[in-house]
Structure 1
């Protein structure tokens, strides 16, 4: 069954609009001389310890929380001028909280076990994506009109991490309104990749990915509605987990999710060490943790493994690069050698329509027939919706408060047809059925996180649909762990998505632990 003439026209319009926008960007945007410098090397051994182990050392009084927090403050101050990842810090408050932690530990009479059970992250520093409400911190998500807004509450997962003893150091940069794969906005500027300052760190959790990859943080929190955890984790060589939707609360984030979008968003942990993923998820899930089998011991030799090397040849996304095909094949070979399993290669023709499926479902009306809030309305808040063509003209003149990516998305909204495509609905339902049957409760599969390694700044404007490699799993509602796999030909991180069945988050998390040992996990960018 093929796309209708109207649907083919819609695809042509999407490509034409984005191609024209990229041409305009290249003609009218200022040229930025990206530095070829590398980040300073690590000089404090505390920065090379997982959050789980740091918490243990703090509870055992082997190191003070003040020492740990100060080590990370020093690192942020050292690398943030290169990265522009942390957009607002709370260093003074964090040091005060660390001192209170050390006093609490000094006075505790119940022993280390009591503290571990009640406060597993006691004294451990944390970074927070700026789209999450963090009391006393900005919550602008790159909008100049929200620049004076300060959160008065904590988002639920942030509150749970703080309740477990974690100490927030500050908030990190996002793309404008969290709807682009590069963390760039006219309020905070552009964030750089720690492995190559001329490359993107991803989005929308790009500030988180950047500061974590640079060892300026050990654990962080991100959100994902199209790959906004997994792409930054891939591009910055760290671990991240997109949870099964509905487990971790999405409340008190900006922008708020409307219509059916709440069904596809996931909040999850981001970190440099795989052993921190599971304890973080337990904490962040709060009262919903029982929905996941997070305490179940996983025997990897009893799992069924599959690999999908690419999307089958989408008309919109780029072909997967050879180095990513090669590293996924090496993962297959390593799993087979280490575990004695057979990794079966499978293909789903429906994956060719990944972007169209994501785009269709993101714009579906809710049960009452109400469509999602238009992006141009979000751009214009607290005033009237913006006029995309007028903003484009202002941008050419250097007068717009909005990025080209945001303006382009507002323009693309105009290409949407009012009635969802029956063909794409059918493709999604077929894909959902096949994937659910394949995975069951004991299966996982490997899939590329992106067609290529971290692109150069602004290049996603020319290839805007490559995020479909991550976005399709938001619509399918599956848990996915992003795993780093060393560095490629250009010294940039390689990686793979490990996908599990619904509510089977513990399976890809267990695979991530194994692959960290097999491939080395996070690598220090300054040492590359």
Structure 2
């Protein structure tokens, strides 16, 4: 069969699956309580409006105690979590005990503030953790009903590093089922809401992180990203999120684990409300691999090359990028040119039209030993036998399945994936990789839409399941990307843009994030809008 015909068949099958989702969800989706008109209260405690960097400095200087800071965030979580359902298990009592120990340590420290800053840069600062990361003593289920009761016995390496730097975990946050969907919803912990509009999604899979950070219930958090799972929640919830160059920050002790070649595409990185926290967090989370990045290099934005790509070129699988997102990206270009005295060049890559097919193909590749990735249906059945997606679909229609429609749909879609990658798609990926790498080098960044639209209403991604390819393509290209908020749009929902850098050039995108925060205002309190 000719490659063009194979592609048409693949596109038809994918659209058919999406059409089935649409019909079934309209017929059988459970009704949720009305949330229209409900709104988050504003974040009134001034401690909630400081960056982690500022909080750590105040704690070291004894201008505020760690107990006061942790208590302020506990109070805020208790205030907003009934509305957003982001934190699924707290450790408030333990966090307050640890904060008291921090305050005692500071009282007894004789080496001065500089010693504490060097050794414990996040001392006394509260931290939220995506539940798919192991956090000792906390649930470690990734929203799978069959893993109910599983409790982590160790800390995932980046969590351990943040704790060692003095951060205090206050709880774990919700994810999509098995971390493989762009809405954080599962049968174990329910659905997470967007703090700017409770009837809209918080994104996934790090949606609980995005939601509680956007709601000012956390100041820093940790996420993972294999198709946009840091960047989409950061975009939808109006915060900063960084997809690190792969294999810099450890992805060990996460559930589900990667298999096949997926470890080449997954990234672990920081999520936060204030851009100045991205760099110090990444320095900590990179641990022994921090030398791979040039995080201490000062960046002169006037010496960078800036490129902008307005959309994917018109893929038949994705929505067109909305006017307000194209307009805000254009405003970024105009401000860069005005403020820095540079020219931002618009470029286009026809291969981006195949973003989903490239992501889908490479996610299914076998590792160097020929071992294929674990089937999603097998993960759905853990720790027992693999799930049968067709049977789960029938059970879901009568309200008896322990899985979400998104997970069932992914299991069904997996059945259409060819075991042998299409040469046509691999050629497109290699061409795109070569052209993008050459364009970026070590001194350039690309602006690219974060998604096709602002945060959709609950369950609506099922109707157009391929829009995540705007983020997913950069996982396969193995590039660092910082998601940056750019104010609120027509419906009061966050706008944003992805800033893409060359491999190991994370410091460039983080520097641009600082500029964009200063220029466009960064995070906005959803309770004040």
Using the size of structure 2 for normalisation, the TM-score is: 0.99
Q: Does the residue aligned with 2:241 lie in a helix, a strand or coil?
A: strand
Q: 1: distance between equivalents of 2:420 and 2:218? A: 45
Instruction: Give the gaps of 5 or more residues in structure 1.
Output: none
Q: Does the residue aligned with 1:53 lie in a helix, a strand or coil?
A: helix
Q: CA deviation digits over 1:489-515, x for unaligned, max 9?
A: 000000000000000000000000001
Alignment of 1:265-414 (within 5 A): 265-414=266-415
Alignment of 1:64-103 (within 5 A): 64-103=65-104
Does 1:9 pair with 2:5? no
Does 1:26 pair with 2:35? no
Alignment-derived partner of residue 206 in structure 2: 205
Q: 2: distance between equivalents of 1:240 and 1:193? A: 16
* Alpha-carbon contact 1:239-1:273 (below 8 Å) kept: yes
Cα drift, residue 31 of structure 1: 2.0
Alignment of 1:36-115 (within 5 A): 36-115=37-116
* Alpha-carbon contact 1:36-1:196 (below 8 Å) kept: no
Using the size of structure 1 for normalisation, the TM-score is: 0.99
Cα drift, residue 331 of structure 1: 0.1
Q: 2: distance between equivalents of 1:442 and 1:514? A: 16
Provide runs of 4+ in structure 1 moved above 3 Å. none
Q: CA deviation digits over 1:250-296, x for unaligned, max 9?
A: 00000000010000000000000000000000000000000000000
Alignment of 1:126-525 (within 5 A): 126-525=127-526
Q: 1: distance between equivalents of 2:106 and 2:413? A: 55
Q: CA deviation digits over 1:199-251, x for unaligned, max 9?
A: 00000000000000000000000000000000000000000000000100000
Cα drift, residue 6 of structure 1: 2.4
Q: CA deviation digits over 1:399-429, x for unaligned, max 9?
A: 0000000000000011011210100000000
C-alpha root-mean-square deviation of aligned residues, in Å? 0.7
Instruction: Give the gaps of 5 or more residues in structure 2.
Output: none
Cα drift, residue 34 of structure 1: 2.7
Q: CA deviation digits over 1:310-359, x for unaligned, max 9?
A: 00000101100000000000000000111111100000000000000000
Q: Does the residue aligned with 2:129 lie in a helix, a strand or coil?
A: strand
Cα drift, residue 7 of structure 1: 2.5
Cα drift, residue 3 of structure 1: 4.2
Q: Does the residue aligned with 1:289 lie in a helix, a strand or coil?
A: helix
Q: 2: distance between equivalents of 1:3 and 1:142? A: 38
Q: 2: distance between equivalents of 1:461 and 1:87? A: 24
Q: Does the residue aligned with 1:415 lie in a helix, a strand or coil?
A: coil
* Alpha-carbon contact 1:36-1:198 (below 8 Å) kept: no
